[in-house]
Structure 1
Amino acid sequence: MNRIIISVTNDFATDQRLLRTCDCFNELGYDILLIGRKLKNSFEINLPYKTHRFRLLFNKGFLFYAEYNLRLFIKLLFTRKDLLYANDLDTLLPNYLMSKITSCALIYDSHEYFTEVPELISRPKIRSFWIKLENSIFPRLKNVITVNQKLADIYSSKYKVPVTVIKNVPRSAVEKVFDPVVALSEDQKMVLYQGSLNMGRGLELMIDAMMHLENHLLVLAGGGDILDQLQVRVLENHLEDKVIFLGKLLPEQLQGVTNQADIGLSLEEDLGLNYRYCLPNKVFDYIQAQIPVLVSDLPLLKELVSTYAIGECLTQRNPESLAFSIKNIIRHKNDYRDGLISASGQLNWENEKKVFTEFINQID
């Protein structure tokens, strides 16, 4: 049985794309070792394949990446493997070096345009390091995938290598299970944002918009770098009864929350190419739950909403306009029903897995 080692820097318990990837390899008969890291608040896991989570001394900054990559290299060196799978640029170096040392095939899965994330745009020296690393390794890769065609075109043009698109879409919801998770008052509408609570996601704007909405509850499901700042913002504006934080949730918990929502938000700001050409997985989760979406007026999000008629784009980024758009979409949510049904039938993992399986089978 072929042994594949899949590595990622996060706590993979809530990484839906990664877990779908592992499930696919499991179905194909691979012996899987999934490597990530364990934090103080990590969920316990029970997966049908082997896992290993590093407990690190450092959990952010340069020392974190240095420690993780060194630990990963040593782990890869002394573990049997036939195929290596690197998730994002921050795991690529040890996987690439090991592929050269052992002649193992390597798959590189770029979940985002790593060197264009907002956290690096504002830190040019650190960004320069990651750009140099990408420039030195990417042109030598043979098996590369990413999440949408625009990023694939950028990478292919820049590095002259073929890049396969595997969309970051969820499994289809065969039956929409409705088990209320959030306590809503009578006739209260639920506005949902799910995902990382990081800079550039429009989260401050969402909170401010709640000052202009009555009988609506903003639910923020996820954790991230600016969680504390957002909680302070809620308190300062006396919005404790209009905004709640659920923290990180396991995929099955999150699905119950998504199903309960009246509208899903994805309001990324145009901070670098990564956000400009984003198609966040939360939007596809909203689609599977068949709730209308309100998204940023960014190229790929705008195209998605227009193609399937599943929601609207926010063209004026101020609290009053956001509040108006939220109310208007919820009021007319039946108008998006047919588009959501069509989109959910096409944009799901069952369809995407066929492309992924074909990609895997062509690897030497």
Structure 2
Amino acid sequence: MGFLFLSCAKDFNLKKIIVSITNDISTDQRVEKVCNTLLNAGYEILLIGKKNENSKPLERNYSTKRISVFFKKGILFYAEFNLKLFFILLFTKKNMLLANDLDTLLPNYLVSLLQRKKIVYDSHELFPEIPELVNRPFAKKIWTVLEKTILPKLKNTYTVCNSIAAFYNDKYATDFKTIINLPTKKEIVKTTFPINYTDEKIILYQGAINVGRGLELMIETMSFLENCIFVIIGDGDIFESLKEKVITKNLTYKVYFLGRKNPEELHKITPLANLGISIEEDLGLNYRFALPNKIFDYIQANVPILVSDLPEMKSIVLNYNVGEIVTNRDPKKLAQQIENLLKKDFTITLEKAKETLIWEHQEELLLSIFKGAK
């Protein structure tokens, strides 16, 4: 009887958090880590995301729900998704709401007001500053107004790097904390590389295939690199145009596209690379403050990195000595830098960095945000 009472008491006190994102649940590693941390701390989790035609089956220790949408992109997609999300949030039992990025914030905020529920906000980026909105002033204005209206009213907020936290705190007098998007600690497991090659050095890019990622520059650079191949893992808006560019430049034997891979597959492929790149362009504040999780995935796989001369990425290289910062974005000069970089040994510094730059060291601060939510 005593055991039954304790079990019931535990269930009664269990807090349920609804977590929402607009992308495919299966590929968002940050959200998965947050959900697992909260689950292990005793919270009940429901994760809501978008259902794609190619969405893969999920095996999670917490509940998930995918929203089917008729419109696949643009303002109609966001309108449809957010309307459906609003009603799901409204009629689902919960104690707390976690909105990921500005594109899920409105329905979460409205439900938090209507039902007096606590809300936590995780900003993965400076959403109104994403390159896709640079030439779309009307859409950018809508997101900016939404951000300006809601963010100053939020009390429980965190983001991916110090630069974004400082930006929001200065602009809106908020109290954003920094939860860096670090990988969990893992043992390195290698597999056979999924393409045929001989003894070439592997330069790897993994992540979104969108404008401003420096991928066009790397393709140009491959014309000047001997004994190297460039492997691109991911999908995005410019995927097809990049493939056409590779064909046009007759580089199909040096540049390979592997498409989207799940985290488990990436964990086995990444350690096979000789160099990981993150050479985003300075296309506004969102890229200037970027601290991509692929940088830390490379480090965790003992792969040295080459990054843009932008503050957050630059600080990782300078503080941990795990690679180099791009000195010149001319393809021929960049090729020379890569050739020299591939001759260097970063084994010792990578081993040291990978022990520090792990998700487990972020969990205490993350949980304090939820436990102290106002």
> How many Å separate the matches in 2 of 1:310 and 1:77?
47
Equivalent residues in 2 for 1:155-304, closer than 5 Å: 155-173=168-186, 175-304=187-316
Deviation readout 1:42-100 (Å, 9 max, x if unpaired): 22211111111111000101100000110000111111111000000000000000000
| Aligned match of 2:82 | 69
What is the CA distance between 1:269 and its match in structure 2?
A: 0.3
| Aligned match of 1:348 | 358
Secondary structure of 1:44's counterpart equals coil
> How many Å separate the matches in 1 of 2:309 and 2:169?
25
> How many Å separate the matches in 2 of 1:141 and 1:253?
37
Are residues 1:7 and 2:20 paired? yes
> How many Å separate the matches in 2 of 1:112 and 1:15?
14
| Aligned match of 1:43 | 56
| Aligned match of 1:145 | 158
> How many Å separate the matches in 2 of 1:77 and 1:347?
38
> How many Å separate the matches in 1 of 2:250 and 2:145?
46
> How many Å separate the matches in 1 of 2:65 and 2:58?
11
> How many Å separate the matches in 1 of 2:197 and 2:131?
37
What is the CA distance between 1:358 and its match in structure 2?
A: 2.1
Identity percentage of aligned residues: 47
How many residue pairs end up in the alignment?
A: 361
| Aligned match of 2:326 | 314
**For residue 226 of structure 1, what is the amino acid of its counterpart?**
I
Deviation readout 1:169-208 (Å, 9 max, x if unpaired): 10122x2112123335332111000000000000101111
Structure 2: state its 5+ residue gaps: 1-13
Are residues 1:101 and 2:111 paired? no
| Aligned match of 1:358 | 368
Secondary structure of 1:317's counterpart equals coil
Secondary structure of 2:246's counterpart equals helix
**For residue 191 of structure 1, what is the amino acid of its counterpart?**
I
> How many Å separate the matches in 2 of 1:141 and 1:182?
46
**For residue 96 of structure 2, what is the amino acid of its counterpart?**
L
Structure 1: state its 5+ residue gaps: none
> How many Å separate the matches in 2 of 1:352 and 1:32?
19
Task: Select between 286-295 and 207-216 the one with higher mean Cα deviation.
Answer: 207-216
> How many Å separate the matches in 2 of 1:268 and 1:142?
32
> How many Å separate the matches in 2 of 1:112 and 1:339?
28
Q: CA RMSD in A?
A: 1.1
**For residue 292 of structure 1, what is the amino acid of its counterpart?**
P
> How many Å separate the matches in 2 of 1:345 and 1:293?
17
Secondary structure of 2:229's counterpart equals strand
> How many Å separate the matches in 1 of 2:139 and 2:360?
38
Secondary structure of 1:34's counterpart equals strand
> How many Å separate the matches in 2 of 1:123 and 1:178?
43
What is the CA distance between 1:14 and its match in structure 2?
A: 1.0
Question: 2:327 touches 2:334 (CA, 8 Å); kept in 1?
Answer: no
Are residues 1:339 and 2:353 paired? no
Are residues 1:20 and 2:33 paired? yes
Secondary structure of 2:45's counterpart equals strand
> How many Å separate the matches in 2 of 1:257 and 1:178?
6
Secondary structure of 1:8's counterpart equals strand
Secondary structure of 2:276's counterpart equals strand
Which is higher, the Rg of structure 1 or of structure 2? Answer: 2
What is the CA distance between 1:105 and its match in structure 2?
A: 0.3
Secondary structure of 2:307's counterpart equals strand
Deviation readout 1:103-136 (Å, 9 max, x if unpaired): 1100000001111111112211110000000000
**For residue 309 of structure 2, what is the amino acid of its counterpart?**
D
Are residues 1:114 and 2:124 paired? no
Question: 2:20 touches 2:98 (CA, 8 Å); kept in 1?
Answer: yes
What is the CA distance between 1:28 and its match in structure 2?
A: 1.4
Task: Give the ranges of 4+ consecutive aligned residues of structure 1 lying more than 4 Å apart after TM superposition.
Answer: none
